[in-house]
Amino acid sequence: MEFERAASVQPSPMIDPFGRAISYLRVSVTDRCDFRCVYCMAENMTFLPKADLLTLEELDRLCSAFIVKGVRKLRLTGGEPLVRRGIMTLFQSLARHLAEGTLDELTLTTNGSQLPKYAAELAAHGVKRINVSLDTLDADKFRAITRWGELAKVLAGIDAAQDAGLRIKINVVALKGVNEDEFPSLIEWAHGRGMDLTVIEVMPLGDVGEQRLDQYLPLSMVRARLAERFTLDEIDDRTGGPARYVRVGETGGRLGFITPLTHNFCESCNRVRLTCTGTLYMCLGQEDAADLRTPLRASEGNDLVYAAIDEAITRKPKGHDFVIDRRHKRPALARHMSVTGG
């Protein structure tokens, strides 16, 4: 054992071929979800067999390997991360890296439905701020968008999270003809509760049984309309993500725009994405991937994993090129957002 350790290579930081340092890992801990949002999943999704999933211990080991290799921010996502059984034990064990100072932030993206149950525990495990996805404040529309969700539960989850001291950013997907009239009220509501809000352009991921062109609403239009009503002041804040922020004069709150289709944000990309089966995607918008499950399971030490990560990082592409294809109306990628994690 001692010999093995002595023989192992010192893991080096992850720098991609374009000189970008990788410091952010997003992990989809399950592909399952208790909602079926119309732009994200088909109603009858086939999920992965449970046997294909990494165990929580394996996820911990992989995340920890990435932290050794320079990851400073870790986001658990999905599917819905909070429906994975035993997920609090993963948060609990990953919290050791926060305590040791090797990780700056442990966070998650959630639909909020399980927050009444878990908010306090998340805070106890060192989570300080979370993203909650919420596209409307109208209960009927909410049901129509999520197919299975209940608005009241999510609002109760947001209350629970704020009571537990978690800071919240609300993520809203802009959907043509569905929630486009609601942005002013969503902004006033979120900012009134001290929450940032980010609007996201719908991305062409996975066949969801709906026409993308019908859903797509360019944020340039959303922003222009909002500017007629609010004072939007450009601010320089970068949260390590692709959002561009403005300060809304009337509310004092921050409003972000994520525009993968109208504005490419790849040049500053510092992230990679791991799925619950141990597949590493170097870009949300490309098919290329690396299998980390095989090297993970091949030995108890992490040298094979480090080598596989290094090889994968050499393949990180410069950027993605999503197109909503007007002629074919096909998704740009067959993979659903719930696989790679949003």
The footprint of ligand SAM (CB under 6 A) covers 33, 37, 39-40, 77-78, 80, 109-111, 133, 171, 173, 200, 202-203, 205, 337-338, 341-342
Strand extents, DSSP E, 70-188: 73-77, 105-110, 129-133, 167-174
Q: Please, what is the minimum distance in Å from the beta carbon of residue 333 to ligand SAM? A: 10
At 232, phi and psi to the nearest 5?
A: -110, 110
3-class secondary structure, 161: helix
What is the rounded CA–CA span in Å between residue 270 and residue 24? 6
Q: Please, what is the minimum distance in Å from the beta carbon of residue 200 to ligand SAM? A: 5
Nearer to ligand SAM, 125 or 335 (CB): 335
Amino acid in the structure at residue 162: Q
3-class secondary structure, 65: helix
Nearer to ligand SAM, 82 or 296 (CB): 82
- Closest residue to ligand SAM using C-beta atoms: 342
Q: Which residues contact 2 (CB under 8 A, 6 or more apart)?
A: none
Q: Please, what is the minimum distance in Å from the beta carbon of residue 114 to ligand SAM? A: 10
Tokens found for residue 316: 């990180």
What is the rounded CA–CA span in Å between residue 207 and residue 214? 14
Q: Which residues contact 108 (CB under 8 A, 6 or more apart)?
A: 75, 76, 77, 81, 82, 122, 127, 130, 131
Nearer to ligand SAM, 202 or 289 (CB): 202
Query: What CA–CA distances, in Å, run from 19 to 67, 178, 273?
Result: 19, 41, 18
Q: Please, what is the minimum distance in Å from the beta carbon of residue 304 to ligand SAM? A: 29
Q: Please, what is the minimum distance in Å from the beta carbon of residue 206 to ligand SAM? A: 7
Nearer to ligand SAM, 111 or 279 (CB): 111
Nearer to ligand SAM, 202 or 292 (CB): 202
Nearer to ligand SAM, 157 or 278 (CB): 157
Q: Please, what is the minimum distance in Å from the beta carbon of residue 329 to ligand SAM? A: 14
